């Protein structure tokens, strides 16, 4: 019986801790602005020329597959 009482007490402690954390989480803002981000968490945009290059390669591969008859079609029916 002592073990059961101890476990129930432990469960109550965890539940109260969970309630406290839920309240703390509700107080936090859902979104942050770009200026609030730390410098190491900010990402930089891909330069426009490099994006064009990757798009050209990507679309060239897709169109090449279509020309060769290797289209993205499902074979399982």
Domain boundaries, the chain: 2-28+41-67
Q: Are 65 and 71 in contact (CB under 8 A)?
A: yes
What local confidence, expressed as pLDDT, does residue 18 receive? 97
The SS3 call for residue 65 is: helix
With tokens 């591969």, the residue in question is: 61
DSSP state at residue 68: T
Name residues whose C-beta falls within 8 Å of residue 46's C-beta, 6 or more positions apart in sequence.
54
Question: What is the predicted pLDDT for the residue at 23?
Answer: 95
Task: Render each residue's pLDDT in the chain as its tens digit; 77 residues.
Answer: 789 999 999 999 999 999 999 999 999 888 888 888 888 888 777 666 777 788 888 777 766 555 555 555 555 54
């Amino acid at each position: 019986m002592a073990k059961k009482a101890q476990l129930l007490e432990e469960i109550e402690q965890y539940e109260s801790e969970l309630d406290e954390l839920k309240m703390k989480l509700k107080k936090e803002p859902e979104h942050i602005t770009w200026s609030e981000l730390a410098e190491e968490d900010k990402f930089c945009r891909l330069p426009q020329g490099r994006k064009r290059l990757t798009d050209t390669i990507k679309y060239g591969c897709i169109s090449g597959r279509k020309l060769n008859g290797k289209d993205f079609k499902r074979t399982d029916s």
